[in-house]
Structure 1
């Protein structure tokens, strides 16, 4: 079988153990995984070789789901993985064993459909076969050695020679838990399916896909008023927008959000704004939200000089005991020593702009900023992430999941929390694809930290230890000594257009990091750290399990007075 070779760096008795002691901070970054040059979240879908001719192979790709985060569609291991469905348009059973599936037309033989059990791979006349696209090739059932990129890619079926194309589709950005399939089954017409039907007849719900809005101005820095024209290629679509960073449309309720405006002409922008727009059409799937941040440095310097709330939705006082500190300090920006330097300072570093509903941050019950000690995916909120370079170097906009990260810094008395970004298929793309650290590091990320000055910092407790500089210096020194390290870059951060201070991206030392830099697969690594916000330093495995860590710990406690146990933890024979 063609598939990925599992790499074991250490023996099975110990497995690969990446012991990460998360004592200090972390960092951020992001980018779109696919160039949506036409401004549409859903580009044209291309179907290839779908017509059944005499003597032709009757199998077609009939439906797929990416991303799958629903508990309604689980594989035999109970996991909500992406899947695809093959359909037999013929009048006789057909065994697809020996054929190939791929998500890259340049690698047609990427995954070889097993030939070991014809009962698993034979499709009845006008029947269906579901294959999980999750890379879990060792699991029982049919599991392809690739996952589907919800941001868009190719999906193809090749004949047993690994050369002859049987069927393929090129798709663009997908919607979480909404499949895309032929209707009727085996037909050349593709439709969104809000009721996915793996292994059964397809059911059409939407009439079509509303194209993503286009803005005639990209994100960036400005010093004079301008007007943004918003267009949509879907005829008859209406556009709703907001300029405060919150979402303009509630998809679940099929209605515009509070204070969203119906677009009827170019939008005036004369101060810092996070413009977000959505296109909708009755009976059609609403478009993804388009987001662009426009920053006026002269405006930023004057934000909330008295510490007052920035406006609608922002708290006017403490929430759940959380200290909240808005705006720029007039004692600094008006100081003769600094006032003429502020503009250049705000343009001296790249900017990261985060846009999300204010309630995702500051609501007393569900806001992650005012419940900072809460951890896990239940405390992850959707966010738009933009990287904006002052010199107009190409940045990105990508949707992601946002959490608070850190330990001691989660304290309510600390007005400045750090963040972690997660790139998941449910937000549109499973990975950020952007060279955050230039040639110094990899250019694909499943997550990234956005850390800031916290404990032992001047900003929080007047400390002279300067951890905001010292931590990066220490990690870079590890690099200079030829050791593994996590990379960082400094940024200005904005939340819905409000300046939030200096932050820095940092790679998160976990399984996908290990896969990127040390090889093997994520499943080869255990990552052990202290539980976030836990003063007792209880440890947990954020990837893998604690078993290997406990074995290593117990061996170390028992001691290495003789050479045999020392050799054994390295996977060597007793004599070395």
Structure 2
């Protein structure tokens, strides 16, 4: 019989009915080990095809969110050969080209909420794995290809077989005290739940390893220290743990937030050790509020920030939080008062750059200029992107490092994506700093910009049609704000330096026109080197100086500016924008107040800054005063400088705007004048078009005084004037019709009495209604059956015809109160009420209440749908009728102990149809521990709105209709319950049991090489769910001779194994194909027998 077997079978035999497609390995820690087809180090997923046939993933789905299983679909053919793997890059590129698959998402391993899942084209679950963080450049994968066990790989194996697997990382050490403020000292106990580990630590900010200090006893921290610890296991197959780290501030407290940084080479970087090596050290950060409470922490890399300021001893830096390192993906805090953004992967940390005190230009710095200008621009809502700022204290490796600023990074795709939905693949971003380069968008960015510059400078901009084309591509308001601000602060380091401009290309995003960002603004207010070559840095700098600069940076900003000034609309917008700002956010008072508020924040911290780095506190205050004096003087010199710049201008003139009536007018841009703040006074230039637009109210007409100086249409919504002198603008609005409030109430309150007012029923008292003067109101009471009408009472209005008429009326002339007086009727009465809805499967009754007046006992009867019921006598008041019968309930008769009374009211009982809960499991009622997942299909009947699933394993409820659930891979039984609720809020419940069993399987290799080279020298098996006492294994040669047999499965474990020798002679069997017979029973008692071939290769 054996001679009829196939001779060559070179595949791994896997006795199971489960899927042959697996997530085999993944890495979101791919910092610098595995490149995609773009040369980028992207997240990747390896998929293994364990079958004997190729599998095409065309139409399959892959996701990182289980609540969105169809997040990305393979759009075309992607074939994984038999017994091989395919790599999918999670780059966000959303493409499949030339065999390279890129999903529309990235994996963020430190979010703790992502699961990689694969589904087939009809959305049937295939495989999944919960994303767990790795340390930098490591991966997670199955122990070997297709194995059910997951492992850590210190050397990732994308695209090749999984080898070199390690167990899970050692448990991270635990500190007994958190980071923060401590007085005197802090005693730290370091623990670990694993008794087989050794803890090593450092206190100088460096990265600990097994050559660092070994922890044995509690540590006493006596000065501000960054404590770091790592755990090593005695088991060599367990990698070292993640590093725990905390900063303990001992007697160091501050009035502003604190940033603590540390790392092996961070000190070298901040000591100026960047040089030609481009040092970018790795390290940690901890972000604290001013009270020493830790807000967030993480690990990433540092790099140089600043050029001229890099020559100072106190240096700034850029920091990038790296999700690939396994600690955190962004610094999570709303750290900037001007923004609601609460996550930052990249931040800039500056020590005031060229305005640093004490290092800037012989100690001339105010330590505030750059942050001040950016913050001023944000608060003025200028049409640019600024680096948001927060002052902070920096500690490096536990040492105080001075007063710094946390700054938001603008020239970064995270910024544009968060605020404007323009990601890195949809940006054109140019930057000039000495030279010009393309930050995003490739060569087309420069080409598109050059074409726009050429169009503006080659076509007459006084032709409005040409200007409209420009406005379609260019945010001219951003250009105006950029030039106004840089002129106002007398920036001497722009255009050929520190200039960035960009636009978004995603049609579904925002900011699709070229706009400007602010960069370094420290060479301002007569401070720093004049790198741009502006005519003067003094307070008397001419506002039209930029027009004389030719083209610094050679990117066309000045030629564009000069060309656009020829357009009347642009020129008017420019001058009006200046005066809007000069009368508001850029007024002298506002600018000085803002400066004082920002200086007040850092003032308490400057003495220690100075004691650390040098200088004199009074000198610094003097520098701040110089800046304050410059700002105060600049306000006036800037304004008067516009007249000689532009001869067509006149004035400035006083503009008085008055609102008559109720309405609102907007003058120029966002200067709102209404009946609440009228009159308003402004200073404005003549020679430009000044618009006044009606924004709300019933507009009547304009008046302009003096009346003979202007020709205008008094009825237009937008009045436009070219000022000839001081002027008063009056906007007349038709006054609103006067109204009065009428308050309705009842005496006494607490009855069921209501009032119909002009046909509208009022049942809550007191109630206020507003009327136009002269309105007629008709009132009609709807009185409680136990009460009677008495009279109407008012404060001033006259009820017509008489206040003793139940139905009455009045004219509205005054604010007033109308009170309805009622009295309790002397006769007895029974009143029935209730309105209840039941579900047909509910085991409960509706409650109908009968209320009585009079003296007990009470005797009554009632009808249901017209059918009279038996008499009832009771002393209970109210009496409750418990019923499950649907219909209308009405009283028929009533009497108390003395007399017959009246009856009133009605009750209604409605019985609704209930749903029927039912479901089935696509996997049946039994699962294997190899695959403990099941799809559950709802088969319930009825108009169901809500499904609530309890899977019986203490997991959260699931509210989807057809859920998918995965149990722990251990044998167990569970009860799944389903509650369904329909549109009538009726419900039904059903249950079904499911069992997870330990299914059997066995792997039999098809070849081995017993040549004593220590590689594949023995034949061994892997198995599960087999009764070892039933095991039998025999091997025959091609002549059906028995050459090997065993009844003990342990003989074929990988610790023992068969060495390829004859069972009788113990001699080596020759290279050939041999036939095996294997038989055994599983734990359910079923017997299994199979045959195959083994190839001995020598």
Tell me the TM-score normalized by structure 1.
0.71
Measured after TM superposition, the shift of residue 507 of structure 1 is 0.9
Residues 1:548 and 2:441 are matched in the alignment: no
Q: 1:505 aligns with which of 406, 413, 421?
A: 406
* Residues 142 and 148, structure 2, Cα contact 8 Å, conserved in 1: yes
Which structure is higher in strand share?
2
CA–CA separation in structure 2 for the residues paired with 1:185 and 1:235:
32
Residues 1:245 and 2:198 are matched in the alignment: no
CA–CA separation in structure 2 for the residues paired with 1:265 and 1:244:
18
Q: 1:68 aligns with which of 30, 34, 44?
A: 30
CA–CA separation in structure 1 for the residues paired with 2:15 and 2:131:
21
CA–CA separation in structure 2 for the residues paired with 1:61 and 1:183:
12
CA–CA separation in structure 2 for the residues paired with 1:527 and 1:374:
27
* Residues 358 and 365, structure 2, Cα contact 8 Å, conserved in 1: no
Measured after TM superposition, the shift of residue 290 of structure 1 is 1.4
CA–CA separation in structure 1 for the residues paired with 2:22 and 2:182:
51
Number of positions where the alignment pairs a residue of Structure 1 with one of Structure 2: 447
Q: 1:529 aligns with which of 406, 418, 431?
A: 431
SS in 2 for 1:440: coil
Residues 173, 504 of structure 1: CA spacing in aligned structure 2 closer, same or farther, 3 A cutoff?
same
CA–CA separation in structure 2 for the residues paired with 1:240 and 1:69:
26
Name whichever of 230-239 and 415-424 sits farther off.
230-239
CA–CA separation in structure 1 for the residues paired with 2:471 and 2:338:
35
Residues 1:223 and 2:183 are matched in the alignment: yes
The equivalent residue for 2:310 is: 410
Residues 1:269 and 2:175 are matched in the alignment: no
CA–CA separation in structure 1 for the residues paired with 2:157 and 2:193:
30
Residues 1:59 and 2:21 are matched in the alignment: yes
CA–CA separation in structure 1 for the residues paired with 2:133 and 2:271:
30
Measured after TM superposition, the shift of residue 373 of structure 1 is 5.6
Measured after TM superposition, the shift of residue 180 of structure 1 is 0.9
Q: 1:285 aligns with which of 239, 246, 256?
A: 239
The equivalent residue for 2:341 is: 442
The equivalent residue for 1:518 is: 420
Unmatched 5+ stretches in structure 1: 1-50, 250-254, 301-345, 532-536
Residues 52, 437 of structure 1: CA spacing in aligned structure 2 closer, same or farther, 3 A cutoff?
farther
SS in 1 for 2:184: coil
Measured after TM superposition, the shift of residue 434 of structure 1 is 3.3
* Residues 95 and 101, structure 2, Cα contact 8 Å, conserved in 1: no
Q: 2:272 aligns with which of 370, 375, 393?
A: 370
CA–CA separation in structure 1 for the residues paired with 2:245 and 2:19:
44
The equivalent residue for 2:261 is: 354
Tell me the TM-score normalized by structure 2.
0.38
CA–CA separation in structure 2 for the residues paired with 1:236 and 1:223:
35
* Residues 211 and 287, structure 1, Cα contact 8 Å, conserved in 2: yes
Measured after TM superposition, the shift of residue 500 of structure 1 is 0.8
Measured after TM superposition, the shift of residue 148 of structure 1 is 1.9
Q: What is the correspondence of 1:45-124 to structure 2 with a 5 Å cutoff?
A: 54=17, 56-71=18-33, 73-114=34-75, 116-117=76-77, 120=78, 122-124=79-81
SS in 1 for 2:348: strand
SS in 2 for 1:371: coil
Measured after TM superposition, the shift of residue 494 of structure 1 is 0.3
CA–CA separation in structure 1 for the residues paired with 2:382 and 2:352:
27
Deviations 1:340-360 (A, max 9, x none): xxxxxx421111100112x44
CA–CA separation in structure 2 for the residues paired with 1:460 and 1:62:
56
* Residues 286 and 296, structure 2, Cα contact 8 Å, conserved in 1: yes
* Residues 108 and 162, structure 1, Cα contact 8 Å, conserved in 2: no
Q: Which has the larger radius of gyration?
A: 2
* Residues 404 and 418, structure 1, Cα contact 8 Å, conserved in 2: yes
* Residues 270 and 314, structure 2, Cα contact 8 Å, conserved in 1: no
SS in 2 for 1:432: coil
* Residues 52 and 58, structure 1, Cα contact 8 Å, conserved in 2: no
Measured after TM superposition, the shift of residue 208 of structure 1 is 3.6
Residues 410, 539 of structure 1: CA spacing in aligned structure 2 closer, same or farther, 3 A cutoff?
farther
Deviations 1:480-507 (A, max 9, x none): 3253433211111100111111111111
CA–CA separation in structure 1 for the residues paired with 2:141 and 2:301:
27
SS in 2 for 1:197: coil
Name whichever of 104-113 and 500-509 sits farther off.
104-113
* Residues 382 and 427, structure 1, Cα contact 8 Å, conserved in 2: no
* Residues 528 and 546, structure 1, Cα contact 8 Å, conserved in 2: no
Supply the RMSD in Å over aligned alpha carbons.
Answer: 2.8
The equivalent residue for 2:352 is: 453
* Residues 66 and 82, structure 1, Cα contact 8 Å, conserved in 2: yes
CA–CA separation in structure 2 for the residues paired with 1:467 and 1:541:
31
CA–CA separation in structure 1 for the residues paired with 2:267 and 2:170:
29
Unmatched 5+ stretches in structure 2: 1-13, 475-1098
Residues 1:196 and 2:156 are matched in the alignment: yes
Measured after TM superposition, the shift of residue 513 of structure 1 is 1.0
The equivalent residue for 1:384 is: 284
The equivalent residue for 1:311 is: none
SS in 2 for 1:459: coil
CA–CA separation in structure 2 for the residues paired with 1:470 and 1:456:
7
CA–CA separation in structure 2 for the residues paired with 1:287 and 1:516:
34
Residues 1:127 and 2:59 are matched in the alignment: no
Relative CO higher for 1 or 2, CA cutoff 8 Å, sep ≥ 6? 1
Deviations 1:231-280 (A, max 9, x none): 2233411110011111122xxxxx42xxx210112111122111011111
CA–CA separation in structure 2 for the residues paired with 1:295 and 1:552:
51
CA–CA separation in structure 1 for the residues paired with 2:51 and 2:471:
56
* Residues 285 and 299, structure 2, Cα contact 8 Å, conserved in 1: yes
CA–CA separation in structure 1 for the residues paired with 2:122 and 2:183:
57
Q: Which runs of 4+ in 1 moved over 6 A?
A: none
Measured after TM superposition, the shift of residue 291 of structure 1 is 1.1
CA–CA separation in structure 2 for the residues paired with 1:277 and 1:214:
9
SS in 2 for 1:399: strand
Q: 2:320 aligns with which of 422, 427, 447?
A: 422
CA–CA separation in structure 2 for the residues paired with 1:179 and 1:171:
11
Residues 491, 58 of structure 1: CA spacing in aligned structure 2 closer, same or farther, 3 A cutoff?
same
SS in 1 for 2:137: coil
SS in 2 for 1:516: helix
